[in-house]
Amino acid sequence: MVRRASKEYAQALGNVILRERKRRGWSATEFGRRVGVSRACVSSWELAISSPTWFNLVNIAAVMRLPLSNMMRWVEVEMEKTNDAST
Protein backbone atom coordinates (compact mmCIF):
# COMPACT_ATOMS: atom_id res chain seq x y z
CA MET A 1 0.00 0.00 0.00
CA VAL A 2 2.81 2.44 0.83
CA ARG A 3 4.55 1.62 -2.45
CA ARG A 4 1.37 2.44 -4.42
CA ALA A 5 0.93 5.73 -2.58
CA SER A 6 4.56 6.58 -3.27
CA LYS A 7 4.10 5.86 -6.96
CA GLU A 8 0.94 8.01 -7.06
CA TYR A 9 2.83 10.81 -5.32
CA ALA A 10 5.74 10.54 -7.78
CA GLN A 11 3.35 10.67 -10.73
CA ALA A 12 1.48 13.67 -9.35
CA LEU A 13 4.69 15.51 -8.54
CA GLY A 14 6.09 14.70 -11.98
CA ASN A 15 2.94 16.08 -13.61
CA VAL A 16 3.23 19.31 -11.63
CA ILE A 17 6.92 19.73 -12.45
CA LEU A 18 6.31 19.07 -16.15
CA ARG A 19 3.33 21.41 -16.34
CA GLU A 20 5.08 24.26 -14.55
CA ARG A 21 8.32 23.80 -16.50
CA LYS A 22 6.48 23.91 -19.82
CA ARG A 23 4.38 26.86 -18.69
CA ARG A 24 7.62 28.78 -18.27
CA GLY A 25 8.90 27.67 -21.69
CA TRP A 26 11.95 25.88 -20.28
CA SER A 27 13.45 22.76 -21.81
CA ALA A 28 14.33 19.93 -19.44
CA THR A 29 17.99 20.86 -19.95
CA GLU A 30 17.41 24.53 -19.06
CA PHE A 31 15.28 23.62 -16.04
CA GLY A 32 17.88 21.12 -14.85
CA ARG A 33 20.61 23.75 -15.17
CA ARG A 34 18.56 26.18 -13.10
CA VAL A 35 17.84 23.57 -10.40
CA GLY A 36 21.37 22.12 -10.46
CA VAL A 37 20.60 18.65 -11.84
CA SER A 38 20.92 16.89 -15.19
CA ARG A 39 18.28 16.75 -17.92
CA ALA A 40 18.04 13.01 -17.25
CA CYS A 41 17.21 13.71 -13.62
CA VAL A 42 14.43 16.12 -14.60
CA SER A 43 13.08 13.52 -17.04
CA SER A 44 13.09 10.82 -14.36
CA TRP A 45 11.04 13.09 -12.06
CA GLU A 46 8.55 13.93 -14.79
CA LEU A 47 8.15 10.26 -15.72
CA ALA A 48 7.78 9.24 -12.04
CA ILE A 49 10.84 7.00 -12.22
CA SER A 50 12.21 8.82 -9.19
CA SER A 51 11.28 11.75 -6.98
CA PRO A 52 13.36 14.79 -6.08
CA THR A 53 14.95 15.03 -2.66
CA TRP A 54 13.64 17.69 -0.28
CA PHE A 55 16.71 19.76 -1.12
CA ASN A 56 15.81 19.58 -4.81
CA LEU A 57 12.13 20.32 -4.06
CA VAL A 58 13.18 23.51 -2.32
CA ASN A 59 15.38 24.41 -5.31
CA ILE A 60 12.55 23.62 -7.77
CA ALA A 61 10.15 25.88 -5.87
CA ALA A 62 12.76 28.66 -5.71
CA VAL A 63 13.57 28.41 -9.43
CA MET A 64 9.86 28.51 -10.28
CA ARG A 65 9.34 31.33 -7.76
CA LEU A 66 6.60 29.39 -6.03
CA PRO A 67 5.99 28.80 -2.36
CA LEU A 68 6.74 25.14 -1.70
CA SER A 69 3.34 24.88 0.02
CA ASN A 70 1.60 25.83 -3.26
CA MET A 71 3.54 23.22 -5.16
CA MET A 72 2.62 20.54 -2.63
CA ARG A 73 -1.03 21.60 -2.74
CA TRP A 74 -0.98 21.17 -6.53
CA VAL A 75 0.48 17.68 -6.04
CA GLU A 76 -2.44 16.84 -3.74
CA VAL A 77 -4.90 18.09 -6.38
CA GLU A 78 -3.17 15.95 -9.02
CA MET A 79 -3.42 12.90 -6.74
CA GLU A 80 -7.14 13.57 -6.22
CA LYS A 81 -7.65 13.76 -10.00
CA THR A 82 -5.91 10.41 -10.40
CA ASN A 83 -8.00 8.84 -7.63
CA ASP A 84 -11.23 10.25 -9.07
CA ALA A 85 -10.37 8.96 -12.53
CA SER A 86 -9.69 5.45 -11.24
CA THR A 87 -12.99 5.11 -9.34
Tens-place pLDDT, residues 1-27:
345 558 889 999 999 999 999 999 999
Q: Is the dihedral of CA 11, 61, 2, 43 positive or negative?
A: positive
Q: For residue 27, how many C-alpha atoms fall within 13 Å in the half-sphere facing its CB? A: 6
Q: Which fold would CATH assign to domain 2-76?
A: 434 Repressor (Amino-terminal Domain) (1.10.260)
* 10: Cβ contacts below 8 Å, ≥ 6 apart: 45, 48, 49, 50, 51
What is the per-residue pLDDT across 46-70, written as a single tens digit (0 to 9) for each? 999 999 999 999 999 999 999 999 9
Cα–Cα distance, 45 to 41 (Å, whole number): 6
pLDDT at 32 over 70: yes
